[in-house]
Chains A and B, each alone.
Chain A
């Protein structure tokens, strides 16, 4: 799985859009970008994923640059409940190299604090 780089922390005012960047300059052609988040003392939560087109669901939007070397997760109207650590990972869902292929490896992520 390719390496990602995220800012360690960000603040966002409640009700405003939260834009969380992720750099993945070594991403390969078959690797997707996945976003998860982990609210304190809870299990990780899947948010969204994409390959090269922008994606939107009920939780967020994912914008992937044309060269696919970076992406941005957008929470359009952040609430206090969105305060969490957000993880960006890149994976090729079809690559299988043994049992360890299922391991989800999160980096340090971005700690998003939504401020009232």
Chain B
């Protein structure tokens, strides 16, 4: 069966510090991978998605970046965190099917607080 891991589970970082969140998927190959942010009491915001190694699409301009160095590894980074970067960061995966937006499976999330 497939599993998705995210770490760390929680993180408290000062403004201006760097960020690196990691997501790995097991039990599947060639997945689509996604990074979402969920601010307190709000819906999901898609930040990045990837359909393959080194292929990253960004949904919103921001000080965050993403990388996919391996097929089942997705990394979210920032060089300098802002207060507004606080939130619940979720990684998700879906089966890659040409022309299909099928169901997405989410990781446990990382709760980031920027002080």
Chain A contact residues, CB within 8 Å of chain B: 34, 41-46, 49, 91-96, 99-106
Contacts and interface: CB of A to CB of B under 8 A. Distances in A.
A96 B99 contact: yes
B103 A94 contact: no
Give the dominant DSSP class at A's interface: loop
B90 interface: yes
B46 to A, nearest CB: 4
A75 to B, nearest CB: 18
A96 B57 contact: no
Interface residues of B, number: 23
B109 A42 contact: yes
B78 to A, nearest CB: 20
B32 interface: yes
A27 to B, nearest CB: 16
A43 B109 contact: yes
Contacts of A101: 101
A43 B109 CA distance: 6
Interface string B75-112: 00000000000000010100000011111111111010
Given A42-B108, A43-B108, A44-B44, A102 B32 contact: yes
